[in-house]
Amino acid sequence: MTLINEHNLGAWKALNPQDKRLQGLILTDLLKNVDETSVDFSSLTFEGRTDGLLGDGLDCAESIGFVVFDCVCLFLGAATLRASATAEVAEDIAKAAEPVVNQLTQYIRTIGDASSSTYDVAYAVFKVISTIYSGGALGAVMGVFLTSLTWYNAILYGMTAVGTIMAALATDGAAEIGIIVVEIATAGFLVSDSVACSKACNY
């Protein structure tokens, strides 16, 4: 079932009430300006990365931003996007997630805990995203992801992301958690980022 529909456009609008241009957009006008078959989160990139993957030296906020970034990547099937993330992007993500950041601590601990099972980690990723969504921070977080896109394409990707997340939440996330379990096998950055975050934030 396509995620490009009035319901998901309305959900994206609700997450971005400050965007007056978006509030006036109707689905038919959006579809005139985008290729709805081209949504591919794995194709998104950030330019300007010169450092390696997350290591020592980042502050608590930046390290939280990287973990949130990791979780969104895994949730949306965009693990390749992680390689282009910069410390600046991580800092922006952390600011966007600030309203719920204290609620994320327990999940970051679980992800970085060597005794956690793959399912435990996948469930924690799901809870990070669901907490960001329920806390009203998803629009701001996704806005950071979509800064490299044109206005119309950013809306296309945004409503697709929120549709994916709402669909997963409606079913308690069972299917999505299964997908994340598979993704984690090739996403070592998530655990290493979470361990570094726990150290930086003294969790």
pLDDT in tens, 31-79: 999 998 888 887 887 765 555 455 556 789 999 999 999 999 888 888 8
Distance CA 111, CA 196 (A): 11
Residue 164 Cα distances to 13, 114, 160, 188, angstroms: 15, 29, 6, 23
Residue 132 pLDDT grade (very low, low, confident, very high; cuts 50, 70, 90): very high
Tell whether 91 is covered by a domain.
yes
Judge contact between 23 and 13, C-beta under 8 A.
yes
How many domains, the chain?
1
Tell whether 132 is covered by a domain.
yes
Tell whether 149 is covered by a domain.
yes
Tell whether 2 is covered by a domain.
no
Q: Alpha-carbon dihedral of residues 149, 162, 98, 93, nearest 10 degrees?
A: -30
Distance CA 74, CA 69 (A): 9
Tell whether 4 is covered by a domain.
no
Structural domain containing residue 81 = 10-18+53-201
Tell whether 37 is covered by a domain.
no
What end-to-end distance do the CA atoms of the chain give, in Å?
41
- Higher pLDDT: 44 or 18? It is 18
Distance CA 96, CA 138 (A): 8
Q: What is the pLDDT of residues 63-74, one digit of tens each?
A: 999 999 999 988
| pLDDT above 90 (res 155) | yes
Judge contact between 108 and 129, C-beta under 8 A.
no
Tell whether 29 is covered by a domain.
no
Judge contact between 47 and 76, C-beta under 8 A.
no
Tell whether 168 is covered by a domain.
yes
